[in-house]
Homo-oligomer: A and B are copies of this chain.
Amino acid sequence: MFIDRLAIENMEHLYRVAFVNSLSGFKSANLLGTVDHSGQTNLSVVSSCVHIGAHPPLLSMIIRPHSVGRHSLENILEVGEYTLNHIHQDIYRQAHQTSARYPKEVSEFEATGLTECWQDGWKAPYVREANIRLGLKFREHHHLAINGTELIIGEIMQVLVPDDCVREDGMVDIEKAGTLALSGLDRYHRSEHLARLSYAKPDRPLREI
């Protein structure tokens, strides 16, 4: 099926949202934990986290400031610290429920039954039920003029990860940790290991590692 720009333009609004959201491929599935100066916490699903660099260790995410991301963005800019918590099979329903439009004075932790977890010296709340948890400091902010979204870059300052999920060469086995992938707006997937491939060189065949 060939679909051009005009056909996308002519799609019904919700159809287009579902269609275009599927096209990037699989998405990361994280819970973004934030808090404001008064101590009011917020938790929301973020599917746009990507790796920016390892040294310094940086992740970015896209936030829609006029939508459900508003409170998270305000909190990040106010407090300067936030957490990312990998969504796994036992918490994905609660995680998905955080995307409902609760008023600011309702914490999505309480509303969904996920548990706040505070680490000494860290201002933002972690999700106790998550297996892989990251604490990030806000570093850089880009306004994406083309559609009014915001790119937020944070530096990884803390990592909590199960001992048996860190491999000898540093890779974290996120499949073993139960981390899920997202597709489209609302579909959750488990993963099934296919292969790890060696570092590619022009003159050498790949091997499984």
A66→B144 CA distance, assembly (Å): 23
A163→B3 CA distance, assembly (Å): 11
List the B residue with the shortest CB-CB distance to A158.
B4
Q: What band does the interface of chain A fall in when counting residues whose beta carbon is under 8 Å from B?
A: 35 or more
- Identical chains in the assembly: 2
Taking the nearest CB of chain B, how far is it from the CB of A106, in angstroms?
A: 8
Which of the listed residues A5, A51, A62, A92 has the most CB atoms from chain B within 10 Å of its own CB?
A51
A195→B173 CA distance, assembly (Å): 23
Q: Within residues 142 to 168 of chain A, which ones have a CB less than 8 A from any CB in chain B?
A: 142, 144-147, 149, 151, 153, 155-163, 166-167
Q: Are B174 and A26 in contact (CB under 8 A)?
A: yes
Q: Are A192 and B191 in contact (CB under 8 A)?
A: yes
A149→B54 CA distance, assembly (Å): 12
Nearest first, the 7 A-B pairs at minimum CB distance are A25-B28, A15-B170, A22-B172, A18-B170, A26-B181, A20-B54, A100-B200
Sample of 24 A–B contacts (CB below 8 Å): A3-B160, A5-B157, A14-B170, A16-B54, A16-B55, A20-B55, A21-B54, A22-B170, A24-B59, A25-B86, A26-B191, A53-B147, A56-B147, A58-B146, A60-B144, A89-B194, A92-B195, A101-B202, A171-B183, A171-B185, A186-B196, A186-B197, A188-B194, A189-B191
